[in-house]
């Protein structure tokens, strides 16, 4: 079963992220992140029409959600994160897209060190 992600929905939350968040860019994606003052991290995904038709946009969005679900244990709480897909994201492999998101989350300082079992 997939881990549910809490999503950003209210226009005020997006406005706060736009005003106070910081952006980091990669040729495949842009990540805008800001502190939200909560004990959890919330996410939003943007796949504009410049990516292609609805089928393509939904495919990219599903891939991004799955990447974030896989990284969720490594993401610190207390952030609002918006991931914006760029047109190049349509044609790349999953691992390339994952590496781009991982790099940008790391540049934001959102990732926490993985715990060793032992």
CA–CA distance, 86 with 79 (Å, rounded to integer): 22
Q: Which residues of the chain have pLDDT under 70?
A: 1-3, 114-118
CA–CA distance, 93 with 77 (Å, rounded to integer): 28
CATH match of 24-108 with 3.30.230.10: yes
Domain parsing of the chain, residue ranges: 24-108
Q: Are 51 and 14 in contact (CB under 8 A)?
A: no
Output the pTM of the full model: 0.89
Residue ranges of alpha helices (H) inside 9-117 are 11-20, 54-71, 94-108
**Tens-digit pLDDT profile for residues 13-27:** 888 999 999 999 999
The pLDDT score that the predictor gives to residue 3 is: 66
């Amino acid at each position: 079963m997939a881990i549910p992600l809490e999503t950003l929905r209210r226009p005020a939350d997006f406005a706060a992220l736009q005003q106070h968040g910081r952006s980091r860019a990669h040729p495949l994606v842009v990540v805008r992140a800001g502190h939200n003052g909560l004990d959890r991290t919330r996410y939003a995904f943007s796949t504009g029409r410049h990516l292609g038709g609805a089928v393509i946009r939904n495919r990219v969005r599903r891939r991004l959600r799955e990447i974030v679900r896989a990284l969720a244990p490594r993401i610190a709480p207390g952030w609002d994160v918006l991931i914006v897909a760029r047109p190049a994201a349509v044609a790349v492999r999953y691992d390339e897209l994952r590496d781009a998101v991982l790099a940008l989350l790391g540049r934001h300082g959102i990732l926490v060190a993985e715990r060793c079992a032992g």
